[in-house]
Amino acid sequence: MNHRPGRYRWRTAFAWLAILFLVASLPIGIALADAPPRRGFWLDLSAGLGLLGLGLLVVQALTSGRQNWVAPDFGADNLLHFHRRLGLLASLLILAHPIVMFTADPSYLRVLDPRDGWMAAAVLWTLVGSLFAILVSSFWRKALGLSYELWRLLHGGLALLIMALAVGHALAADHSLHAVPQRIALIVWMGLAIALIVNTRLYRPWSNRHRPWQVESVKPERGDAWTLTLRPIGHDGLRFEPGQYAWFTLADSPFAMQQHPFSLAGTARSAHLSFTAAVVGDFTAALAKVKPGARAWVEGPMGSFIPDPDRSIPLFMVAGGIGITPMMSMLRTFHAQGSRRKVDLVYANNELGDVTFLEELEILEQELNLRVIHVLREPPAGWPGESGLVDENLLDRCLPPPGQPTQYMVCGPEPLMDTVEAALRDRGVDWRRVYSERFEVI
Amino acid sequence: MKHRRLYKNVHRVAEALVLGLLIAVLLFALR
């Protein structure tokens, strides 16, 4: 949360990677502590893969669930991306564990036969089925037509089931984890992971239950978007920095599975919160039907897409479409502070009619030290401004001279961000000064 | 919230660590 732009600490990043290594390898360490009997290379390799799989499940619990003490060092979007990739790897390692074992000694195949002990067979088949289910539902959620809410419920349930069954299986298999202290250590270790999941899914919403919000207004915006303004009920609201985001639940209960991330678009340090969402899916389409007075819950703030607190550093912003919302929070906050900070904003849209906040930006341009460069893909006849896509030529015309201590902030659709990030890099911009926010995270 | 370049670098290191984990498994099997 207190992440300072341009002051990224490599040491923090590497410390986290070392922690990841320790977290993932601890079950192997626990097994080694008692010098388990050797059973030959392939069977031991198989056991090692299983133990590593257990450790990676703990890493998965740590990298998901928006743990606030992990996310600020990496960015929640990076972390979720990592969680997905690691999830695939962990599943492959876990599945390699029985495959190596059955190949090394086919007699182990009997553990899958319910006639040879129905309980063990049921646990193993459920474990394999759950692993496939969690992979398929996560990587092909949209193709399967699963709603985000249903998927989230399923994902949490399957994750808990896999953890519990995996620990049970490791303890029952008994080869590498024989002594009582080791068994306790493994249970505690996996218990921590389960506690993290319970913390995200139950404890955090529960502790939020005395902090309800009420929808005050629902307003249509240009560009097929809606702005919702919320006010706190019986509490002092949320303190956030401009550019941060929060998770919103529009439901009577804080435990509702529906929870969506939106940039906080309003002035920081105002009692009210607002967010603006473009209609892209079921949830955003339903925002238009939300009635003032409806109950809402807010978890956050999150994110480190924040302007440098040093106001003498100019900002160069590039926004595409609804990616304007964090920039709006910054501009509105500067306006409230009477700040004269220099800001250039390149704002890309399809048509003039799509330009969310067009009129407000015109006013802000008069009242702040702000220059807005609209870029329209399909400009109206006689349009005097920039047209086409944001490309290197356009950036060359707008970018400040190299060497100037500017902070760059980029938010928009993936292709725009890729172009801008590459162009800035090619122009020798110090990458620690480039802040970008990707909102297509789930 | 994203330092993309840094992330790519860290990601590479993370992949190296995963490789390290696999080596740890191998050592476990070869101990």
- Predicted pLDDT of residue A3: 37
ipTM of the shown complex: 0.79
Integer Cα distance of A298 and A424 in angstroms: 35
A163: distance to nearest CA of chain B, Å?
A: 20
The reported pTM is 0.78
- Helix, strand, or coil (residue A172): helix
What is the longest distance spanned by two Cα atoms in chain A? 82
Mutation target to probe the B interface, by most B beta carbons within 10 A, among A43, A44, A407 is A44
Tell me the C-alpha to C-alpha distance, in Å, between residue A150 and each of A175, A194, A295: 38, 20, 21
Written as one letter, the residue type at A148 is: Y
Interchain contact, B1 vs A77, CB within 8 Å = yes
Which residue is closest to A3 within chain B, CA to CA?
Answer: B1
**A257-272 mean pLDDT:** 86
Which residue is closest to B12 within chain A, CA to CA?
Answer: A17
- Helix, strand, or coil (residue A50): helix
Integer Cα distance of A173 and A253 in angstroms: 42
- Predicted pLDDT of residue B9: 61
Spatial contact of A87 and A138, defined as CB atoms under 8 Å apart: yes
Interchain contact, B6 vs A437, CB within 8 Å = no
Contacting residues of A for B20, CB less than 8 Å apart: 21
Model confidence at A107: pLDDT above 50: yes
- Predicted pLDDT of residue A264: 93
Interchain contact, A434 vs B31, CB within 8 Å = no
Integer Cα distance of A56 and A27 in angstroms: 10
Interchain contact, B3 vs A28, CB within 8 Å = no
B19: distance to nearest CA of chain A, Å?
A: 10
- Predicted pLDDT of residue A71: 58
- Predicted pLDDT of residue A440: 57
Cα end-to-end distance, chain B, whole Å: 43
Interchain contact, B22 vs A21, CB within 8 Å = no
Write out pLDDT tens, residues A198-252: 888 888 888 888 899 999 999 999 999 999 999 999 998 998 999 999 989 998 8
- Mean residue pLDDT of chain A comes to 88
Instruction: Read off the tokens for A93.
Output: 């390692």
- Helix, strand, or coil (residue A26): helix
Instruction: Read off the tokens for A254.
Output: 């804080």
Write out pLDDT tens, residues A302-361: 877 889 889 899 999 999 999 999 999 999 999 999 999 999 999 999 999 999 999 999
Interchain contact, A45 vs B25, CB within 8 Å = yes
